[in-house]
Amino acid sequence: MKWNFGMFSLLLLFYTCASLAGVIVGGTRVIYPSEQPEVQVTLKNKDNDKRYLVQSWISGIDDNKAPFVVTPPVYKLEENRQTLLHIVYTGDKNALPQDRESLFMMNVKSVSAIPEELRSSNTLQFAIKSKMKLFYRPSSLDGNAAKNAWTSLQFSRSGNQLRVKNPTPFYVSFGELSLGGKALTPSKEQNSPSALSMMLAPFSEQYFAIPANAKGRLTWTAINDFGAETEQRKQSL
């Protein structure tokens, strides 16, 4: 079957976490230890009757160019098959901070092949795009400390705002953040996806709006290196 992106009558982009229609990405985040020459991510086509063309690349969080290459950058994923994507850092290691993690985004876009019987007719074709976090972790940082970084967050209340401080060199993503059972959201209006707005950068702080009449204990969880949610923690403010 011949692949031709120009055959689309309409191209729609959808953002998902880790599943691209029939294409499954192995994991919801990528950890890149700086001492490794590459890291690998699995792609699997779960469909028995469709093949996909998959394009993959790494970008900055603002979609700017990033010092990584993904091979293969474009791959035809056959029915019920899987492959490995190889991610290689190509920049100067000293150009990135050595005292903290750096954040990039892995982009994976897939589109299914057009069946022969539909190639001569008008077709509505969907391209599905996924974005997942890639954390570049310098070798100077302790991987075991990364597992417990979320437990070091510091919380304080000021009126109708919750101040959260991250004193660690690691990014910390919330799985849950609530006060008295009411979910908390960032105080300032943000255009970034919730996956980014509910995350604290290394050595940073962020404010979250406290809903009216919210009382009780603060509850939070985080997302670990494997994309799983940690156990729940609670504390009084």
The confidence score (pLDDT) of residue 3 equals 41
Residue range 16-20: mean pLDDT, rounded: 44
Residue range 70-90: mean pLDDT, rounded: 95
| 185 phi, psi to nearest 5 deg | -125, 160
* C-alpha distances out from residue 45 to 25, 53, 208, Å: 9, 10, 40
Cα atoms in the Cβ-side hemisphere of radius 13 Å centred on 94:
0
Strands 19-20, 82-89: pairing kind = unpaired
CATH 2.60.40.10 given to domain 5-137? yes
d(CA 22, CA 10): 20
pLDDT bin (cut points 50, 70, 90) of residue 86 is very high
Q: Is the pLDDT of residue 143 over 90?
A: no
- pLDDT, tens digit (0-9, with 9 covering 90-100), for 178-214: 999 999 999 875 555 556 889 999 999 999 999 988 8
The confidence score (pLDDT) of residue 56 equals 96
d(CA 119, CA 82): 26
Range name among 13-17, 37-41, 95-99, 224-228 with the lowest pLDDT average: 13-17
Question: Is the CB of residue 103 less than 8 Å from the CB of residue 171?
Answer: yes
Domain spans of the chain? 5-137, 143-235
d(CA 184, CA 198): 9
Give the three-state DSSP class for 143.
Answer: helix
Eight-state DSSP code of residue 146: H
The radius of gyration of the chain from alpha carbons, rounded to an integer in Å, stands at 21
More confident residue, 191 or 78: 78
Share of the chain above pLDDT 70, in %: 82
CATH 3.30.450.20 given to domain 143-235? no
The confidence score (pLDDT) of residue 123 equals 55
The confidence score (pLDDT) of residue 165 equals 97
Are 5-137 and 143-235 equal in CATH topology?
yes
> Of 202, 204, 63, 80, which Cα lies nearest the Cα of 131?
63
Q: Is the pLDDT of residue 1 over 60?
A: no
